[in-house]
Amino acid sequence: MRRARTAVLISGRGSNMMALVNAAREAAYPAEIVCVVSNKADARGLEFAAANGIPARLIDHKAYATRDAFEAALDACLRAMKVEVIALAGFMRVLTAGFISSWDGRMINIHPSLLPAYKGLHTHERALADGAKVHGCSVHLVTPELDGGPILLQAEVPVLADDTPETLGARVLEQEHRIYPQALSLLATRIISEDKT
Ligand code: GAR
């Protein structure tokens, strides 16, 4: 079975990347993780990828004079690996419209809120400050509008009276690890089926 060649982009811990790598261990899973790329040298996820036999690359944005130069290096790395799908997993660098449009329909992101609520950062703090009763996470296609692309999957969690950003975030993260592999599977299946049409 053909599997969609997928890169996972990270900036830190990489727990969502690990969930994707673990899902892709299954032979029937429609995506294969062919590389993990970090823009930060200290991203803990890089070690996990290397230890699991997945090419792990550092493309440090600080080593490039401009955003365009950084993205050109990133794009060249992805094209060299014949990547078809990009999964952003805690990748904390805003990408330009030019880069995003060149991967149109082939790049997804996981975000820790029920979009369109709480785009951007500090989502758990903001949900608690608002007295939200329900919170969660979303996987969406990446478009030039930050955290604004079409939603593929969402999962809800309850907000409990004694929640802190940490306890709420942990409850959301559990759901991220569940839905991100499902969402990548949906996109990869679509991309593979496009080959046949
Ligand atoms: C995750 O909660 C992810 O949803 C969030 O960063 C965390 C990364 O954790 N992403 C964003 O906030 C994107 N704007 P991980 O490195 O363990 O996957």
Using most ligand atoms within 8 A of CB, pick from 9, 10, 15, 179 the residue to mutate for ligand 1. Answer: 15
Nearest atom (ligand 1) to Cα of 123: 12
So what's the pLDDT on residue 1?
Answer: 86
User: Which residue, judged by its Cα, is nearest atom 3 of ligand 1?
Assistant: 90
- Interval 160-195: pLDDT, tens: 999 999 999 999 999 999 999 999 999 999 999 988
Q: Could you say which residues of the chain have pLDDT below 50? A: none
Question: Which residue's CA is minimally distant from atom 8 of ligand 1?
Answer: 90
All domains in the chain, ordered by first residue: 4-196 (3.40.50.170)
**Cα separations in angstroms, 24 against 61, 63, 93, 105, 145:** 28, 32, 25, 20, 29
Q: Is the CB of 19 under 6 A from ligand 1?
A: no
Q: How far apart are CA 22 and CA 11, in angstroms?
A: 19
